[in-house]
Amino acid sequence: MILTDVLILGSGGAGLLAALHAHRADPHLRIVLASKGLVGKSGCTRMVQGGYNAVLDPADSVELHLADTLIGGGYINDQELAATLVERAPALIRELETRVGCFFDRREDGRIHQKAFAGQSFDRTVHRGDLTGIEIVARLRDALFATPARVLEETRALDLVRSADGGRIAGAVLLDHKRGELVRIAAKVVILATGGGARMYRVAAPSLEKTGDGMAMAWRAGATMLDMEMFQFHPTGLLAGASRMTGMVLEEGLRGAGAVMLNRDGERYMARYDPERLERSTRDVVSRSSFMEIMAGRGTDAGGVLLDATALGAEYVERNFRGMLERCLDFGYDLRTGPVEVSPTAHFHMGGARIDVACRSSLPGLLVAGEDAGGVHGANRLGGNGVAESTVFGAIAGETAARDAAHLAEPPDLDENQAAAIEKRALGPLGRADGEDPFAIRTRLEALMWERVGLVRDGPDLEAALAEIVELQERAARASVPDFRRVNLAWTEALDLENLLQVAEMTTRAALARQESRGAHYRSDYPAPDDERWLANVYLQRVDGQPRVWDEPVRFTRAAPPGREPVLVPA
């Protein structure tokens, strides 16, 4: 048993900033950070190519950034969370540069360079070439190891554990992959920052370990979840055959700079779908347009479309997109001289656990930050707002954790029966007789989600998908893996599969509930937004083992769409 003040699950931008800000708020705090992979070498923040949105130019404003975020989100954002994002992002950029030591690209006059990104009315995306995430995470990793925080690498969380009196979240059970050992940790405060579940789709962009662990743990613990139907597909994922690099994002800075999208006939098809913004339209529009081109038979033989950056010039591409140029060259594409085959790729979950502006969830003792949380982005995340969200709310979660931990003398006792049940369930697949192969079930889930709960949805497909997801859950509960514990990749797959199936269930149930199209959620049987009925958030909660789904109207606390009045929030 490990006792700590703050337990952080996840080592991306949110987890690392949470650790640094918790330590800064109280240098005497005991902090444990658990990472499913290696710190600085896993997670999605390090994969960010494009950049970080922040208002730095005097001609820009937080009001304009907020307006872009709300418009892009279809006005179902939690407006207080969105406002917190845009207000705190500039200070976080300065902290990353001056305190953490990040180097961002500069203009000739010495100011930070900011580039164009889709869906934004001002060029506000801070970057380090097209390797922004690596720059941020590498520096944050160094800063973390300069603190006394205890780091558990290659150690995944299995489930959250309540206190013995049942009143709060009091810790977690974890699995050390290298040693094959189960670990119980009791904490005054737990921060969930493990990232999203895009790997439930056949073509997906995030790192391989991003299997919805945090969302599934929050769901099983009874947390309130919201807008789980809102799943973003990035328009340009590299097509690289059977390689695991298929789905890797080619960031939208290319389109912001002038790269164009072409179908197999060489037609610039975005003129048909958004003639005003073309390739600089929002991600949901460009992704869905590409999908429709492919479905109409105008895709490539590999089932994609073409991204053409040749008009930018070879020198410009080499100077500004070095990382993507090198990765494309690895697979036989040359961004400088010809088009690259791409496909929409599962990228980011706008939904997640419901939080307040202090990152507190509906469960006492549990804070949530980053992609595990919902509400900031509404129906569609703007490029460049993702890493900003992770760092801003990671920092807030760390500060809140330090304050909340001060109210408890010691970590609460764990519910030993619940911890034992979690351990028993996790060990279940080892050596089970006549069990199914979890890899085969995973492959079926990925195809099912891509075909029926993907970019274009309808009621019958969603109903069929939900029925099959429940069946797959039953099959997964009987899965079998070889009977050894240390570095057992099949066991890892079985544990990942359980979480992916639960995130898939939440996504599908929420998609069935929202009978309209808005942002990333497009239903062909309800193809238009319905502001009269669906300026609302869809909520889910597991109550006595059963899913509950309901919706509540959005509160327009900062700005309202046409025809609506803002709702003032008491100070």
Cβ–Cβ < 8 Å for 380, 74: yes
Burial category of 28 from C-beta neighbours within 10 Å (exposed 0-12, middle 13-18, buried 19 and up) = exposed
CA atoms within 13 Å, Cβ hemisphere of 332: 5
Q: How far apart are CA 458 and CA 446, in angstroms?
A: 18
- C-alpha span between 351 and 348 (Å, rounded): 9
Q: In a 3-state reduction of DSSP, which class is residue 395?
A: helix
Any catalytic annotation for residue 255? yes
Catalytic residue among 234, 381, 457, 523: 234
Residues in the chain: 571
Can 558 be counted among the known catalytic residues? no
Give the count of alpha carbons within 13 A of 396, CB side only. 24
Helix and strand counts by DSSP (H, E) for the chain: 16, 19
E strand or H helix at 548: strand 546-553
- Cα separation, 31 vs 543, in Å, equals 31
Q: How far apart are CA 45 and CA 394, in angstroms?
A: 12
What DSSP state is assigned to residue 568? P
For 513, the token pair is 């509930």
- Rounded distance, CA 256 to CA 328, Å? 19
Alpha-carbon Rg for the chain, nearest whole angstrom, is: 22
- The helix or strand, by DSSP H or E, that contains position 465, with its residue range, turns out to be helix 459-476
Amino acid type, 570: P
Helical spans, DSSP H, in 406-437: 416-427
SS (H, E, C) 499-510: HHHHHHHHHHHH
Beta strands in 393-531 (DSSP E): none
Judged by DSSP in three states, 291 sits in helix
Query: Angle 190-541-454 (CA atoms, 0-180°, nearest 5)?
Result: 100
Question: How far apart are alpha carbons 285 and 410 in whole angstroms?
Answer: 50
**Beta carbons within 8 Å of 19's beta carbon, 6+ residues apart:** 6, 8, 31, 33, 144, 147, 149, 398
**Catalytic, out of 23, 30, 255, 442:** 255
Give the single-character DSSP code of 200: G
Give me the amino acid identity at 461: D
Q: What is the phi/psi pair of residue 538, to 5°?
A: -95, 125
* Catalytic residue ranges: 234, 255
